[in-house]
Chain A
Amino acid sequence: MMNKPSDAVTARGLSVIRGPRTVLHDLHFSVPRGQITGLLGPSGCGKSTLMRAIVGTQAKVTGTLDVLGLPAGSPPLRARIGYVTQTPSVYADLTVHQNLDYFAAILTPGRRAAARRRTDVTRAITAVDLTTHADALAKNLSGGQLNRVSLAVALLGSPEILVLDEPTVGLDPVLRRDLWTLFHDIAAQGTTILVSSHAMDEAERCHRLLLLREGTLLADETPQGILTRTRTTTVEEAFLHLVDEAATEAAAETTPKEPAR
């Protein structure tokens, strides 16, 4: 896999150890700029771990992982990546507006940037459709609303890459559609989006897919490419097909001593 300047993220031989286990095994992939890449896989397969490695908060990462041409976790990257953790990470005892004010002040500090911060905060709140709740305490919001506050924080400062860990889980279908529209709008302006989900039906909304299972990559291509290669009609079927394929390959590699079941 070549390291193209057009790639936002490049991984070569990426492995991560968490606790006693190797959670990600020798991953090779790249995430192209300006597109939406979906990171799909069942719960526990390592999606959050991979995202944490990319934003530089995961320990025990080995191999090569470059983000915007710099090693993941480099200090200059911190202002260029927007990250939404899987569980909403905002202050429950502050209002939506106060939360955003604070994180905006961390991104663009100083009194001279105050006007810019104000428009930025308003833009982020509008983007996630929380204008009517701007003065509500975060702890009084529903789970879906809280998710969107967390997302709004990541939109501050117009980052070059958005890393979104399951941002649409538990949202009603209308909101989910609206968020995907927002993601496409953002990507159309040149932002790279890496979004994870354990719901396979979100795959068709992505430009590219990374299918992950038990810490290994099953596929790294376009949704259509995966369907064509596996001769299936849905990503869910394709996923099953790829799992079976991988199992057959693994069985062929180990010596056929065990009786066939």
Chain B
Amino acid sequence: MDFSIFIGGQAGEGIKRGSMLIGKVFNRYGYHVFIMNDYGSIIRGGTDYSEIRVSTKEIHTSFNRFDYMFAFHMDVFEKYKDKAKENCFTLTLNDFPYDEVIKKADAEPFMKPSIVLGVLTFMLGIPQNFVEDVIEDDLGKNAPKNIELFRIGFEYAREKNFNNIHLIKGEKTPKPLLYGNDAIGLGAVRSGMKVYAAYPITPSSTLLEFLAKNADRLGIIALQLEDEIAAINLALGSAYAGVPSMVGTSGAGLDLMGETISLAGAVELPIVILDVQRVGPSTGAPTYTEQSDLNLALNIGHGEFPRIVLAPGDIEEAFELTAKAFQFALWYQTPVIVLSDKHISESARTTDIPFSNNYPLMIKTYDKDFDGPYHRYKITIDGISPFAPPGTPDVIVHVNSTEHTEEGYSSSLPETLVKMKEKRLLKMKTIEEDFKLMKFINVFNEGDVAVVSFGSPKGAILEAIEGFPIKFIQVVSLEPFPKEAVLEEIAHVKKIISVEQNSFGQFADLFERKIGRNIDKRVLKYDGRPFSPWELRSIFEEVLK
């Protein structure tokens, strides 16, 4: 059993909130759920929709073909009706007077999805009281009105004698149904983040909102600043004072942070930077997904300094990699960029996240007896100097953006420049060697054709290769690039297909440069919509022929 529900309407009609409610019902009813929100960058009007995909087996992405279509307006239906599967059930404004019902019930337009839930509950034969309990639980003071609307939908479906089946309760125990950004926030907190600073930008703002709302119970602060530059400089100030800190933004904001990322590299302070990619260049299409900041993440910041770039492929990895990003940032004392995208951050999925995992933050601390007098940039065998925050008795911490001596004093003598460049090179080497051991790739399936990719296409690829003799290699760390691990995996592979969501093939270029082997087929998508499993499947099928 694997079906997708489409709810379409305008901004302000509760599409996103409603799809979460419906997703919760199926989650608690024992099914896997994936929710994808497709919305425009306007506050009212437009043609938004959410897909709620429900399945007995684990699902990794949205399907982009629908079994049920509910549309509160005709334009949204017209726009997407060709995505209806054969025998798709539809209930549009032509069939059902959504607005009149809302008006008559003295309800609000954003409650329309509850009518949909009523119709679905009847058609799928889910116990009515089961669903009402979920509404009660989820919507609090808005529950009574929504239950009223839910019942109207339910009765309407009964009267109309809509097809009905009996969807038995699934076997899966309910799991957290999380948006990617929530998972990122929880991952950060789980590894000890205490300061989050940001400037609103889609699709990262929901993380700021989530953390701000829960700041007190999480023991953190989440702040909105005057711009991204202030955000990252504030976070760097906190990092300098010894508190794990993070910023979150999207492409345009990352551009603005460039100078400070270079600063963090130069002064050797830990900072985690989240980039939730959206369609660029420039303002682009703010609410749609893309992976076109890869080159930016790999190169942002002038000068040369060590950095780490990690790309989660799904919501579980978003949690885990954000947590690990802090471990790396604090140990190596250098910026770590987490590359998410709209499809990961603003989609929700029933997840198996190891919330109780520990991600201890190891720090090379200063030991007076061993290290001697405190030198912030002391030369060591691995390029990592002992860390001490200001406030440590008998220690003076000089941090310096100008090239500096081991003590942290400004100096542009040739020997100082060489010494510090080589210190940072050594640190980079250390990171590379450590990462070799950690093998930052995930490998799925076997075959003599390999698909290579990074980030959010993971979900669609996993579903597309099912039953095919295709090996999927997901690159998780883009910098350092897991060259040895990839080489080992492709040794016996005959053909390599790359999959990514941009028009330049940034990942394919990186792969070829690092691995020294050509990609045989580059699959690129740049329409802002995530890959669908069937879309990729037919491409792979073609290659296998």
- Asked if A and B are interacting partners, one says no
Q: Give me the interface of B with A, judged by CB distance under 8 Å.
A: none
Residues of A within 8 A of B (CB): none
